[in-house]
Amino acid sequence: MLLLFDRHHIIAFNNYRKLYNHLENLERNKGKSKWIFARHSWQRVLSFYQYIRDQETSVPPTEKLAPTEAGDVLEMINGDVTKPMFIPVTPDVDVIALQQQWCQNYCKEHNYALFEISKPADFKEIGIG
């Protein structure tokens, strides 16, 4: 279980996937997203790259990008849209760990406190008074 503390709320999540969905919704509601963690098919990345190349007049039209691998690509942006990171998804890439790290970075950057609770007994309400 994950507990997210912001200035006004405490929200519990069963796993990082649900936390990610929450954070993604926060970014989407802002309009211009500066935090992105997305998985794209290789064909989508290739189509986008070719579209950009076709828009540039300095590139000869016969020069095209040929796919060197047929896998997905992770796009990660951690607040700075000028520094996107693209990672080919191969068997040795731990997508779940990268998504967890992205969530942790997001929380840290936005001054959210994030706690992982392994057992409900680890977190008890203590009454004072």
pLDDT in tens, 51-85: 767 776 554 544 444 445 557 888 898 888 778 88
- Is position 127 within any domain? no
- Is position 128 within any domain? no
pTM equals 0.72
pLDDT confidence of residue 123: 56
- Is position 35 within any domain? yes
- H helix runs in 12-94, sequence order: 16-30, 42-55
- Is position 36 within any domain? yes
Look at the chain and report how many structural domains it folds into. Answer: 1
pLDDT in tens, 11-42: 999 999 999 999 999 888 887 778 989 888 87
Name the nearest CA neighbour of 109 among 86, 72, 77, 84: 77
How many angstroms separate the CA atoms of 112 and 2, rounded? 12
Enter the DSSP assignment of 65. P
- Is position 67 within any domain? yes
Q: What is the extent of the structural domain holding 10?
A: 2-122
- Is position 62 within any domain? yes
pLDDT confidence of residue 65: 44
Q: At residue 106, does pLDDT exceed 70?
A: yes
- Is position 52 within any domain? yes
Place of tokens 């990082």: 16
Paired tokens of 12: 């519990």
- Is position 59 within any domain? yes
